[in-house]
A and B are shown apart, each in its own frame.
Chain A
């Protein structure tokens, strides 16, 4: 709430004009329509933006005829946005394929880790390309928007990077697929290219752990970090009654953001028991910056040992059943933000063949080197440990990737401190069984394909579930339900084969082929119609 009043932008959503402050995401604009929906589900139910950070694909809409994720795209004057399903051949201006680009060091993700990696590497003179799928750099923790300017620490980093001509920052650009040995496909809303590199630093951050419960697909229900992200994108919550539930320190940060934006935060329900929360809080003296941050987030409605059991409503959320301490009660509210901590985003690393640890984070050594030579990883994708750890790891990765290993030693002690903090978060906010037992047989597990939890009975693993029930076979490719079945059933989702994200066919088609290609019509002529024997 601290930026100057932004200019206004008018877009059309399903034909109706909607005017929003400049910098508002399309996801946030959708919330201002009558239905608030982004799409209709496979079984015809309205769905609205959910994760707020490009993971769940609930907010996929048609923008000028091309399918886009509404939470990753800012409103631009004159955009025609449709929520009534994808059509082929209705493209206003076809996205283009650009010539190949190359760099020495490619950094995927411009959050705290990626920005620090770029700055650390910049001094070497290497040609550095820094990509981020969001409209602006900063990642989730330093997200800016129409009413949220970039925090000072992040702005200082961005200003420093600006002074290095060898660093190129490209926002609104997603790594969507592997294009070859040291090459990735990158896509923006309107173009695509093959990006070649010598070294890769994966700074893909984290996604929220989103777990199923009855009613979790209703518009009005979002992730917890998801709601924070959406508010920063321009989601209007002034005067709304909001319940925040789930687990981890992020609940408090979301409550603070929502309250600043004028929402009425009714309850913050933490699933961990008081004892664990108190032990976690008591341990914060070891990390004074975190302790100070915790003080600013003091939340009068915070209750431990509490859960959102179910969300109720017709076409959108009207009420939530909460268990607070031992008592169950129904609370009327317009919004429920529900997240159970964070999980590393590892698809890109997996695609490149990097090994994961047993906890699902990318395995790295003290030099932030992954199991694949020339590929480094830093930040939340190597384990959930917060902003400071991400920055320290980013600096190490940047130095290592640019041949400045001698400067690394001092940084290793810093990361060790934050590793201990990370371990504390994992330990104290471990999920209680009650969390994973909320769903009934009819509760959807796969939001893309509308597969109910009960359908998974009789399946004995992720691949079996995919083949027999279509769980994880939809647009998001198991990004949400894969994480959920891991928590619920202990199944491990399989690694992607080529794609990290849904990608336009034209983008995939732009990869060059080294050999001369035979047209199928050539050998048809050659063989005429006599059987080839």
Chain B
């Protein structure tokens, strides 16, 4: 059996890459071990991030592509055009919000400052005394497991999904798995946090996160609410941190994150961390206190030290490509990742500068 491309991992990044490669006319086989994944465990937010230019470029180009997908997606994909409110607790954070607004504007991303009164009108359940919020209306959320399934169904005949555990990727394009060996012209590793098992020099580590989902409270929270501190929290490389992120799902449920525990590779739910997260969430939105949680869980984000994913050819291994290490933003940045991979694999001009995401950036460091 031989395909043009074998993709290891059918999470949102693998699925988006399969879709983009199939759109170029290539035959693609995905092999997925059905391990717990960030795609299934995550929030599914589509969030423009501007911590550095490369992150901004990847996320804003991705949002552009998401908006092209959106009219074609079925309802189960759960698209919610809720926008984001980056919440400033005090004047210092309001200054950060202004700075953020300027950076977003440079990249052509529309945002709007809501002062305290406007914020209270937009989200009446937030606590009093907040300084305001930066509203990014173009941000959204999806239900990623369904989007992945939808992507895989878009090119029938060109995409095959096989369930099995990949044990080894050989340099001749042979992919040895628990369900047989598959051959391919190129192999793309999109295995999220499990990727280093097949490519040990990949500097990807786990950042554990916790989520809480509530019962249905329709139409009471309208935007995805994110503390401005989320940006700093999401780039911490050690220790534990919490920054509140409350996302209204199309069901009316509220999905509450986010925590980061570096270097933890288990998915046990630690009640003390959940409590910490919820204390902060209730402090931000007191009405949450009597809302009911129906499930809590933990998952692992595939993180890198500089917060950027690895996208591109492996420098030393023939035929091996990498699309992994998207941390908590793989759903947001899957479309641009796929566009980069498809362009580079087929020798086309990439839609954005691929250099910041290259594997080789690690080699260039002391």
Contacts and interface: CB of A to CB of B under 8 A. Distances in A.
B290 A67 contact: yes
Contacts of A42: 216, 251
A521 B244 CA distance: 11
Contacts of A527: 232
Contacts of B212: 505, 508
Contact of B290 (A65, A477, A528): A65
A497 B297 contact: yes
Given A88-B125, A497-B269, A509-B282, A524 B229 contact: yes
Contact of B233 (A177, A523, A529): A523
Interface in B205-246: 212, 214-218, 220-221, 227-233, 235-237, 239-244
A359 interface: no
A185 B282 CA distance: 18
A498 B282 contact: no
A181 to B, nearest CB: 10
B269 A498 contact: yes
Nearest to A455: B76
B275 A468 contact: no
B217 A503 contact: no
B354 to A, nearest CB: 20
Given A87-B220, A520-B243, A521-B229, A505 B298 contact: no
Contacts of B240: 518
B93 A498 contact: no
B229 A508 contact: no
Contact of A95 (B100, B149, B290): B290
A504 B289 contact: yes
B217 A86 contact: yes
A86 B215 CA distance: 8
B220 A509 contact: no
Interface in B139-167: 145-146, 149
B112 interface: no
B51 interface: yes
Contact of B274 (A468, A502, A508): A508
A529 B92 CA distance: 10
Nearest to B227: A520
Nearest to A527: B232
Given A499-B295, A523-B241, A89 B236 contact: no
How many residues of A sit at the interface, in one of the four size bands?
35 or more
B232 A532 contact: yes
B276 interface: yes
Contact of B40 (A467, A513, A526): A467
B134 to A, nearest CB: 12
Contacts of A521: 89-90, 93, 229
Interface in A137-187: 177-180, 185
A499 B296 contact: yes
Contacts of B215: 60, 67, 86, 475, 502
Contact of B278 (A178, A505, A514): A505
Which secondary structure dominates chain B's binding surface? mixed
A521 B232 CA distance: 9
B310 to A, nearest CB: 17
B293 interface: yes
A378 B40 CA distance: 36
Nearest to A503: B293
A185 B293 CA distance: 13
B270 to A, nearest CB: 9
Contacts of A504: 289-293
A493 to B, nearest CB: 13
Interface in B277-323: 278-282, 286-298, 306
A501 to B, nearest CB: 9
B363 interface: no
B274 A525 contact: no
Contact of A520 (B145, B242, B291): B242
Given A88-B220, A498-B274, A523-B236, A506 B290 contact: yes
Nearest to B305: A533
Interface in B91-134: 92-93, 96, 99-100, 125
Contact of A502 (B271, B272, B292): B292
B96 A529 contact: yes
Contacts of A467: 40, 145-146
8 contacts: A67-B215, A85-B216, A91-B289, A506-B290, A524-B228, A524-B229, A525-B92, A532-B51
Interface of A: 42, 60, 65-67, 85-89, 91, 94-95, 177-180, 185, 463, 467-468, 474-475, 477, 496-499, 502-506, 508-514, 517-518, 520-521, 523-529, 531-533
The 7 closest A-B pairs by CB, nearest first: A520-B229, A89-B287, A511-B275, A509-B278, A506-B289, A88-B287, A498-B269
Given A475-B216, A509-B279, 6 more contacts: A498-B274, A499-B296, A505-B288, A523-B229, A532-B51, A532-B237
